[in-house]
Amino acid sequence: MKLWGGNFHAQTDMAANSFHSSLAFDQRLYRHDIRGSIAHATMLGRQGIIPAADAEAITRGLTGILADIESDALTVAGDAEDIHSFVEAELISRIGEAGRRLHTGRSRNDQVALDMRMYVKEEIAAVKTLLTALLSALLTTAKQHTASIMPGYTHLQKAQPVTLAHHLLAYVQMFERDHGRLTDCQRRCDVMPLGSGALATTTYPLDREWVSEELGFAAISENSLDAVSDRDFCIEYISCLSLIMLHLSRFCEELILWSADGFAFVTIDDAYATGSSIMPQKKNPDMAELIRGKTGRVYGHLAALLVMMKGLPLSYNKDMQEDKEAVFGATDTAKSCLDIFTRMFGSLTFHTDTMAVSADGGFMNATDLADWLVGKGVAFRDAHEIVGRLVVLAIEKGVSLAELPLAELKKAADVFDETVYQAISAESCVNRRALTGGPAASAVLSALAAAEHRLLDRG
């Protein structure tokens, strides 16, 4: 059924009809479309715009359609242009003339804007739930490793020792910001556009506030042109998903490195790895690699929406039909990646002994040695130079800084004494960094407690 065919005399070309149709992908909006239509029809009856009996018949019909779709008694298919046309045609076939009154005071432009906002609001809540599960898993593991010393890196070179808990808490911070961004996005998405019509509202006395409250929106749109042509909320939502994927991808990159022989910090469970068809010894971190790869897919959806919207005059243009596949695709990808990553993370075996051995190499206590000299009254720039020379000496001798004899140290600076060796142990290097945000056990325990409190507050 065409909703617009009154002044058309020729049939739409079959290829054009197929090209134009969005039913294949927007059918996932059926629940949102039907919920919005029930609220709209009920309001029309309350306002006396259509007979109360017709409003009741429409509501019963739509409720039946929803039940039949969800029980698979009704398949969304056929030559309808979109889910809106499908539902309305099915309604008319079931209840007759009363069904033709449903679209009173409404355009597909504000109808689809409503459906998309309802969908994005719902999916934001689902993604936040997945983020909360991941945060819980990270915090559970971090609590077990507040004393597990490992190398910290800059430029992928060993830099200073930290703990595994401290490292995991860095990702807690990232995913908490992601959660907060989604909450902010949800607020801007929580605006009800129905009643905007095609672009200039309607002459019917609609009760927009009642519909908004019925559908659980916080506010109604204030400009009809903007309401039907705005897809900022979709772009912002996919931007939030893109940052989540960025953080997942960075974490996956580290797990890929850490599971390699050169690091051997972690073993990924067989359930989340695959083998080689030719090399029997191989165990490949494919799930982590796929998440890293799928990040580009979400970025692509974001770029597609930005480019699609950038040149559109007000108000609605058919280009905007392309928003759905981008939003749906980004949502599906991000949700599946969050789910698999959380499962995979829970399966990891961390090799803390290997991490600790690695933390003893690479002269990662050089900064602490310079700080020790500063504590003895040496200017930091001089201390930096002294330690640099000692590093060269240690490399020449094939030893660590802690293995240099005190006599050699005194040749570099006469302030050296036996206490230096304890000061530059890995444990001391970590636990002396007790500032807020640091890797010391005291700072990490405080950060863990704060993060757990925030997690409880999110419910």
Q: Which of 71, 155, 277, 453 is catalytic?
A: 155
CB of 212 within 8 A of CB of 181? no
**Burial class (CB within 10 angstroms; exposed 0-12, middle 13-18, buried 19+) of 104:** middle
How many CB atoms lie under 10 A from the CB of residue 438? 18
How many CB atoms lie under 10 A from the CB of residue 51? 13
14: three-class secondary structure by DSSP: helix
10: three-class secondary structure by DSSP: coil
What single-letter DSSP state applies at residue 156? T
Please spell the DSSP secondary structure of 438-456, one letter per residue. SSSHHHHHHHHHHHHHHHH
Whether 155 sits among the annotated catalytic residues: the reply is yes
Q: Which residue is it, tokens 């629940």?
A: 31
d(CA 122, CA 116): 10
What single-letter DSSP state applies at residue 377? T
Helices within 96-201 (DSSP H only): 108-143, 164-189
State which amino acid sits at residue 444.
Answer: V
d(CA 225, CA 110): 10
d(CA 364, CA 154): 11
Whether 145 sits among the annotated catalytic residues: the reply is no
Q: Which of 93, 136, 276, 442 is catalytic?
A: 276
How many CB atoms lie under 10 A from the CB of residue 240? 25
Please spell the DSSP secondary structure of 214-277, one letter per residue. HTT-SEE-S-HHHHHH--HHHHHHHHHHHHHHHHHHHHHHHHHHHTSTTT--EE--GGG-B--S
What single-letter DSSP state applies at residue 161? E
CB of 219 within 8 A of CB of 106? no
User: Catalytic site residues?
Assistant: 155, 276
